[in-house]
Amino acid sequence: MSESNAVTDADVVLVGAGIMSTTLAVFLKELQPHLKLEIIERLPGEAQESSGAWNNAGTGHAANCELNYTPQRADGSIDIAKALEVNVEFDMSRQFWSYLVKKGAISPDNFIHPVPHMSFVIGTDRQAFLKKRHAAMSAHHCYRGMEYSEDHKKIAEWAPLLMEGRDPNQPVAATRIVSGADVNYGALTSDLLTYLKRLDGFAVHFSQNVTGLKRRPGGGWRLKVRSGLLGSRTINAKYVFLGAGGGALPLLQKSGIPEAKGFAGFPVSGIWLRCGKHEVVERHSAKVYGMAAQGSPPMSVPHLDTRIIDGKRWLLFGPYAGFSTKFLKHGSLFDLPMSVRPDNLLPLLAVGRDNFPLEEYLVGQVLQSNNHRFKALRDFYPTMNKSDWEFDVAGQRVQIIRKDQAHTGKLEFGTEIVHSADSSIVALLGASPGASTAVWIMVHMLENCFHEQLVGHWVPKLKEMIPSYGHDLKTDAALTERVRQETAEVLGLHTV
């Protein structure tokens, strides 16, 4: 039968074939194997938007090196609470991936590699900040083994490219933790999908665009799916998950659920520099995060990263932020204007009014010449050679704008799970900390939206997949140690 006008049924339809939908699909199939699941993807393959290896930085975000997670309080002390949250969220990913490796579903060599995480700062004020940050973090069991140095020679041992050609009198400081990871989220998405395809009751459809969704009178949702210019079909689903990245907001708006009201999106694009020259790449083995410029969004902190993609080592530098009205890298320039509704116009305008430093920063980034971009790289790697580097376009992030009583509208940099009152439709908005915490996001979503099933049936299986589930790693040093030892062994990571 031609797919045109066909009507099919599914228990759960997941829109988008990125890391979020594939992670959730694996969770659901492990928890309830008989479920009939379909993933619908508008592009011809999986992980071609933010989850693709070159569209994100591949950092296994454990808040080891990202300075935006450890703000300085007014009294000068360092607040590590947010860093600790992100740190133990990544432990959930490590455990879930280890569970899948042990059952032969995915292979660690394809997607995860040990790469030390470093922070690097220049100037005496920043030295003082990093020193205090190190003292606060290394005193906690979650950051045991984090090293600190202001010594040029020591830092050169950790990352020679950072120090060669640098003024020996320049005040610098760095921290390093050797248990960090580089993760190819695109390869992981593909591995998860390959595993899912082996299971009964699962199907993925590429080059099919979900263009509409409506509540069904008896419960559940009716999705309109288009393929090519003429093909269209309908899927009736009990549950819908909008794991559509930047495409989630427009679909959420189409659902008409009251919970979607007031949300808007603020797109931030990005550009990288990358280098594949063997002699350079072999001399750097770290993800080195610097400090954000004034007014910059937290995810635009420059970093010089080792990447391992399809067995080859690379260096990646950036991202340089920019502005485009597209919500997806392969999206339309009309995405932003088409998302404006009477209910989100005020929040959008308020964010425009209240975030002048951010706008100024983005305009500055867009107007930056390539020479300026190379200068930013030279701050990290003084002897870099321009001809070793090429530019590449990163994925698109859509930051959340939401209604806020005090300011009318507020820009947020986290991830938001928005769902209908009956949890029959769930959408994921926002982008940070991102793919690293996909597992925590899904567990959090199951706890919130499927509490009854979770408590009634799923907890034992969840504990099999994530042995620390139900315990707080932030307060349980012995369990943290055990979980990290075990997952490091399975995933081939280093322990401190």
If the CB atoms of residues 211 and 408 are measured against ligand FAD, the closer one turns out to be 211
Are residues 271 and 320 in contact, defined by beta-carbon separation less than 8 angstroms? yes
If the CB atoms of residues 148 and 202 are measured against ligand FAD, the closer one turns out to be 202
Q: Shortest distance, CB of residue 411 to ligand FAD, whole angstroms?
A: 16
Q: Shortest distance, CB of residue 131 to ligand FAD, whole angstroms?
A: 26
CA gap 269, 157 in Å, rounded? 34
CA gap 27, 278 in Å, rounded? 39
Q: Shortest distance, CB of residue 436 to ligand FAD, whole angstroms?
A: 3
If the CB atoms of residues 166 and 402 are measured against ligand FAD, the closer one turns out to be 402
- DSSP designation for 72: B
Q: What character string, x for contact with ligand FAD (CB under 6 A) and - otherwise, covers 16-55?
A: xxxxxx------------------xxxx----xxxx---x
Q: What character string, x for contact with ligand FAD (CB under 6 A) and - otherwise, covers 250-279?
A: -x------------------x---------
CA gap 187, 180 in Å, rounded? 18
Q: Does 449 bind ligand FAD (CB under 6 A)?
A: no
Of 394, 411, 449, 493, the residue at the interface with ligand FAD (CB under 6 A) is 394
Q: Shortest distance, CB of residue 279 to ligand FAD, whole angstroms?
A: 25
If the CB atoms of residues 350 and 411 are measured against ligand FAD, the closer one turns out to be 411
Q: Applying CB under 6 A, what is the total number of residues that bind ligand FAD? A: 41
Q: Does 180 bind ligand FAD (CB under 6 A)?
A: no
**276 contact partners, CB below 8 Å, separation of at least 6:** 312, 314, 315
Of 180, 245, 267, 409, the residue at the interface with ligand FAD (CB under 6 A) is 245
State the residue for tokens 């592009």.
Answer: 43
3-state secondary structure 98-163: HHHHHCCCCCHHHHEEECCEEEEEECHHHHHHHHHHHHHHHCCHHHCCCEEECCHHHHHHHCHHHH
| 3-class secondary structure, 421 | coil
**159 contact partners, CB below 8 Å, separation of at least 6:** 118, 120, 174, 284, 285, 286, 288
If the CB atoms of residues 347 and 433 are measured against ligand FAD, the closer one turns out to be 433
| 3-class secondary structure, 54 | helix
Q: In the complex, which residues of this chain contact ligand FAD (CB under 6 A)?
A: 15-21, 40-43, 48-51, 55-59, 61, 185, 209-210, 243-245, 247, 251, 270, 319, 328, 394-395, 397, 428, 431, 433-436
